[in-house]
Structures are given as structure tokens and as C-alpha cells.
Structure 1
């Protein structure tokens, strides 16, 4: 019994001795450690902090090193100050090999902060990516590594991501794409991630100018980089349309991207452009929609938007152009010649120098096959058509060649002298064309 008691006493004394001697924080997971080691850590922490506050990193470094190695849970300041010290040394170092070693040490500081303060992982990964690119932006391997850090940072932090992280991540993705280190669909995926985060961040803090600026730059850079294609953009934004069809900012972004990527013939472009026009109707947007629906043979809808464009437009010259386009579609696609002629004349009224309006009127009249009951009445249409072609080149001399070609073509259909004589006319006589036209011309022969 005595031997057993002596043994237990020995164990107890050994434990007490070990505790009083100390244990480091890195060993027991405590903030400062225990015993003498905790006193040592507190002392070194106090000394390094005092020097660091004075930006005296040289004298702070030895004490900081003890804390970093022995009590890594002491404080986040250990890593914040450590990063500052090493960045200062990196920027002052001129030897490339030594500078690289310092960069590696800076990354180690960030890694250790993540290990001991895991709640900071998203933010610290952002610091890693930004600092790697700050010091090694010309190395594609480094850009690829930094891009990975930044993406993970955004995935962790979401709308709490900094503007710098979001902007730099997108820039690095585009750079990797341009050097064929990243496929186009990855760039689209990265853009989708950044856009979603930015939209949420801006919704939470609409007055934050940095976020709005980053969003604008990200949109512009993505649109210009060449990674986007119609299939990818439609796949990305198509599912978002229904919930955003009254969101003007979303609609403008999507229409701009689809336009810049050559996707204006897509259904998604038409839908977003129509929704945007409903929110912000302009003559220009109405005219664009009119042309879009004309291209897919939806002529009634096209006419509807041309009429809107005319109603909204304040510039007579623009209204004149819209009337010509409306007249052309009414003539060629709806075969409503009287109405088409009215539009051509309204175009000329709005802008008397618009010779195209007269060309249109001439072609409409020459196509009025149902007007006239005899040969002379039918051929008389060509006299009036040629009159309009002459007016076209007088209104706009740049159309002379085109007008002369029409004049040459349709003059060949004039009646011969026997026909006009048979009907009691001679060259130069006035002749009124009835039907729905009701205009007077002069008699001519071929």
C-alpha cells in the first residue's frame, strides 16, 4: 500500500510541475497557453504591438514571430499586423528570389489565420487572391491560382464580398480567357456569379457608389471580352426573365449584352426589348421593335410599333423615315396600296427632302394593277409613277441614279401613239387617273 501511495504522489507532483512550467497555446489550443508560456506570449505580444503601432516593423518582427509560432490564437491582430509587415518587406525587397520567399510567407500568414479563425475564411481568401495579383500579375499560373482564391472568397462571402474582390475576380477570369487558360462557358459562369452578388449587394445598399461602378465596369468588360455567345447568354438570363420582366436595370443589361453579342434575332431579345419598351417607351425603341417583328413576319405587330414610333417621335425627319418604313410594309406585306400611298405622302410632308418617300409612292402607283378598265387607263399609271420618280431625284439628288433606273424601266410601259390617239389624246395633254389615286398627270408615249 505504501509503495502504491508513493507512486500516485509522484504522478501528481509531476503533473503540477509540468503545469507550472508551462504549455504553449499552439499545443493546447488556448489563446495564450499556460504557465510561463502564457506569460512569455503576453510579453511578446505586448512588445510587438507597441512597435507595430509605430510602424517599426523591424523591431516588431522578432516578438511577432514568437507569437505567430507559439500562440496563434492570441488575436486576429497577429495576422493583420503580420500581413502589413510582410507586404512592407515585399515592396522594399529588390531580390526576386527573396521577394518570392516573402510572398510565400504572406500566403502562410493568411493560411494560418484561416486555420485558427475559420469564420474569416471568405474575407482572407480574398486577401490572398488580391495580394497574389498585386505582386505577380504577369504570371498566368499565379493569375489562375489567385482566380481560384477569389472565386472561393465570393462563394463564402456572397453579398458581403468587397468591390475589389468582385472586380478583380472578373478581370482575372477575362484575362485567363484571352490567353486560352479558361473556356468561354466558365467566364459566363463567373459573370453570372458576380452579377448575382452585385445585384444583391446593391439592393441592400443602393447608395454604395463603388458597387454601382464595379457593376458597370463588369458588364462592359464582359460584353467586350468575346466570351459570351447567344446560347450561353440565353441559358443564363432566360430563366431569370419572368421574375425580372419589370426590372428595368435587368432588362437593359440583358438587351445590351444580347445586342453586343449579335443575338438580336433571339426570342429572349425580343421579349426583354418589349418589356423594357413598356417601362420606358421611346420612339427609338418602338421603331426597333417594329423592325424586329418585321424580320420574323409578324407584320401586324410591326405596324403597331411603327405607329407608336411616329406618335412618340418629335423630330420631323425621323417621323418621315418611320412613315416610309410603315408605308413599305403596308405596301409589300399587307398589299394595302391606298393606305401605303397615304403613308408615303405623309413622309414627304414631314420631310420634303426625303426622296425615298417619292420612290415608294411611285412604286405603289405602278403596282395598282386593279386600277383601269382599258389599256390606256392601266398604262396611265406609269405616267404618274414616273412623275414621282422625277420628284424623288429633285428632292434628293443622291437618289438620281436609282430614280433614273426606275424611269427607264417604267417608261417602256408607256402606251404607244396609236393607243393615245385612239382614246382621243395627244402627247402633253392632262390626264386624270381615278380609282383610289385621283391624281392628274400628262400624256406620254414610249
Structure 2
């Protein structure tokens, strides 16, 4: 009782200072409602919160924050047939909060949450549900972050195309929007994660906040990875060369001077490696002639590579990298260049380009995995004695582990690789016999030129 009275007095003081015109009833009702909501006594809090919302909507943002929790609680407890009214009420609460407290409410999150409620509860037609997600994307893309919402946004487009209401090109356009957004979120999470992983690998103590940051970043990366896999599976055969080539071939003559159409066709054919069909050559050459760009240069590099002209291919790929402005696409180009150098055995140059790819796209775990592979292949050549040569495998294991953490879709293979590398590295008895100690730095020579610390085995 004493605690409840204290809460009432506290809110009364806040309420009188912030909204002097509010009646005493609002202050009292709000205090009691907030107290119940804090105690998760939502059945008692709900009617009082609704009263405050109706009689004094501008009293406090807390009214809407607690009301959201109370309605979500009631939705969870409600029978299926009784949920629709509560769901619609929750959507109204979100909309009112956005209207009354726009500076403290993320528009993209509100709109995507509303769209997801419509999707989950089958409110409105598929077109209306899709338009709700599209509103979130177009009006505040930065705050449209929900992995499930992004999947639903694409899923609805595919279902409408299956029903004959949308074209295959509409599906591709939506796929590009969603995939780009997911990669942006992955990169942001990976950028936040990278310095913390480095600190952890070097044996530095992490604060509780930093540990939470690692946990949340890895959860987000795992969720976005699952969504990417799901939308690629949903896209399925729609993006196969058997569908793409006829789609673009029928319009090529009419569109061969249309730069935007050529860009779209080139990007799609290139992404799916439909490079052996004559149409790809026609599209790439027409585009490069009209408007030399990263995309057209990259496509011509693919053509040169398929013809076995690796030198010419690298020239085109480097040109493409210089012209490209989109980080994820620049990373793809650098990665391809790196693969070419790796296949030639030029590991130093390959690593340079894998690192450039990672600078452009920090979530590109496959680049870490490739560097790990090169280190492992070079172990016998990059040490002064047996111990330091085998120590290279610790370094390879670190890179493989990092690949798993920034790109969860690779976690199984990357963790297996890391375990295999650790198995080849010096064991506890080897460290003891070498008179070395845990944490001691081992300099790795030759082209690698890095330092690795002896782990706590």
C-alpha cells in the first residue's frame, strides 16, 4: 500500500509539472494504472489506461507504452474469435502514439508493427497487407528492421504474383529492396560486433554492456541470415536462368537503348550467372557502350573469365570496383577479384582484396573463411620452427570463428573449419614443452605478417 501511494504521489507531481491543465482525476487514474501496469497486473491496468487515453491523451507517453503491453497481454490470453477487436485496438493505440508523440516514436517501426499485426491476424486483403509494409518501407525505411516483417513484405508479393496480380518483374524489384535492407542491417550489426570480437580475441575483459552488445548483434545476424535463406527459397525457380533469359530476351530489341532496362536485366542475369547465354553478352555490351558502369564492367569481366582470359577479367573487375558505389556490390566485386588471385596462388594479393571486401561489407563471413584457408595452406612456410609453423593454425582458427559469428549461415562449416585448425595447432603439452606461456605473442612471418597469442588450452 505504501509503495502504491508513493507511485501515486510521484506521478501526480510529474503530471502536474508536465501538463498543468490536466484534471486531478487524470493524475490519480494514471498513477493507479501505471502502478498496476508496472506490477504486470494488466487486467486492472487496462480499463484505467483506456480512461486516461480517452480523457487526457496528452497526459504522458507512458499511457501508450503501458497500454501497448496491456493489450498485447489480453491478445495472448484471448480466444481466437475475440482477438480481432483487440488487434484493431492495438493498431489504433500505435497510430495515436505516433500522432501525439512523433518525436518519441519511430514511424517505420510503428507502421511495420501494424502491418505485421494485419499479416499475422489476416486483417485485410493481401494487397492491403502488402501496402501496409510498403508504407513502412517508403516512409521510414531506416526503422523498418523487423526480420519477420521484411520476410512478410516479400512473401506477400510472391503470393500476389502467383495469383496473377503482380508480374515477375514486380517480384524482382521487391526482392532487391528487401535483400538490400537486410544486408544494410547485417552490416550495421557486423560493424558493431567487429571491434568487440577483436577485443575478446585479444583476451581483454569485456564490460557487461559489451557482452550484451555481442549477444544482441549475434542474435540479429542469425535472424537476418534465416530471413535471407527463406526469401531465397521463396524466390526459388522464379530467378533461374530458364525464366530470366526468356523474360529479357523477348524485350531486348525494343529495350536495347534503354539504359535502365539494360541495367536491370544485366544485374539479374549476372547475379544468377546466366553468362553462357548469348543474351548476356548482348545486354552487357549494349550497356557498356551506352553507359560504362560498375555493372557492365563486372559483366564483361565475367565473360572474360568464362572464356579463360583471367588477365582481362581482372582488368574489368578492377574497373567495376572503382565505379561501384553500393558497398555490398563493391564487396562482391572485390571478393571475386580475391578469388582469382587465390586460385593463382597469389595469397598476399588475395588477402588484400578479401579485406577490401570486408571493409565494404563487414558481414561477409566467407571472406574471413577464405583468409583462414590461405593461412592454413601457408602454415608450413610461415614459421621458424615446428611450433611457430603450427601456431599459424591458431590464427586460421580465429578467422574461421569470426566468419561464423558475422555470418551465421556459415556457422556450421566455419566452426568445423575452426575446430580442424585448432586440432593441427600446438596442444597443451606442446606449449609446455616449448617453455612458452598462455597469452604469449607469436609473430607469424612470410606474407601473413600477423601476430597470434597462445590461447588458454
TM-score (norm 2): 0.44
Bigger Cα Rg: 1
TM-score, normalised relative to structure 1: 0.45
Task: Give the number of the structure with larger relative contact order, counting CA–CA contacts within 8 Å between residues 6 or more apart.
Answer: 2
